[in-house]
């Protein structure tokens, strides 16, 4: 992977992830409060719907950037390019690259999710206080509570999403070339 590709994956992935996470944050807060043991209204209801957003904002960019850098780097190590030498092997390679991307990204995602969700369920607390409380009560291991289940949840999604994404990119490229070729042929007559 060239430096330019690395930087592009880092910045584009990070920005995309941050935009998606911050846009959907209020819905995530509502979901977390609906799932809360204390119930939706006691967890804050619709008040403080942005409780925990600092944790999401801090973790979102590096989480998505880590995923896409790992994904693209793994693809480059496996020798995957837009023009596949062995098309039948490409989906498996994309699955492997996406799985590794999720494993790495979850190292960042899970601690920020733990703090974010705890803050969402307890809107009277700040993100920083929730981080300190988690570290004091559970140590660093507390920040990684649910790491395994999160990875197991994310990988199946990525196993489908990224090979499909890569296939659609190749299909679009092929169709664009075909359309361009037909326009050139049509204009010659």
For 90-121, write each residue's pLDDT tens digit: 888 999 999 999 999 999 999 999 999 998 88
Tally of CB atoms within 10 A around 105: 27
- Structural domains of the chain sorted by starting position, each given as residue range(s) with its CATH number in brackets: 3-187 (1.50.40.10)
Query: Which of 84, 59, 46, 68 is closest to 169 using CA atoms?
Result: 84
Write down the pLDDT at residue 87: 64
**pLDDT for 16-60, tens place per residue?**
888 988 899 899 889 988 998 888 888 888 888 888 788 888 889
Query: Which of 17, 8, 11 is closest to 109 using CA atoms?
Result: 17
Task: For the full predicted model, state whether its pTM sits above 0.85.
Answer: no
Contact 135, 142 (CB under 8 A): yes
Alpha helices in 46-146 (DSSP H): 53-78, 90-121, 127-138, 140-143
Query: Which of 100, 72, 86, 85 is closest to 165 using CA atoms?
Result: 72
Q: How far is CA 81 from the centre of its chain?
A: 22
Mean pLDDT of 152-161: 94
Q: How far apart are CA 41 and CA 85, in angstroms?
A: 56
């Amino acid at each position: 992977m060239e430096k330019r590709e690395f930087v592009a994956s880092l910045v584009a992935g990070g920005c995309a992830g941050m935009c998606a996470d911050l846009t959907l944050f209020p819905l995530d807060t509502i979901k977390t409060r609906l799932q809360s043991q204390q119930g939706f209204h006691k967890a804050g209801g619709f008040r403080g719907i942005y409780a925990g957003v600092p944790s999401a904002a801090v973790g979102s960019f590096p989480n998505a950037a880590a995923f896409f850098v790992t994904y693209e780097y793994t693809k480059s190590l496996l020798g995957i390019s837009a023009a596949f030498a062995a098309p039948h092997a490409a989906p498996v390679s994309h699955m492997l690259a996406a799985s590794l991307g999720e494993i790495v990204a979850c190292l960042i995602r899970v601690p920020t999710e733990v703090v974010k969700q705890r803050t969402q369920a307890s809107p009277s607390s700040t993100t920083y206080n929730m981080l300190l409380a988690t570290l004091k009560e559970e140590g660093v291991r507390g920040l990684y509570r649910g790491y395994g289940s999160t990875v197991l949840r994310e990988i199946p999604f990525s196993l489908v999403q990224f090979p499909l994404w890569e296939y659609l990119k190749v299909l679009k490229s092929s169709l664009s070339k075909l359309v361009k070729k037909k326009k050139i042929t049509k204009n010659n007559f």
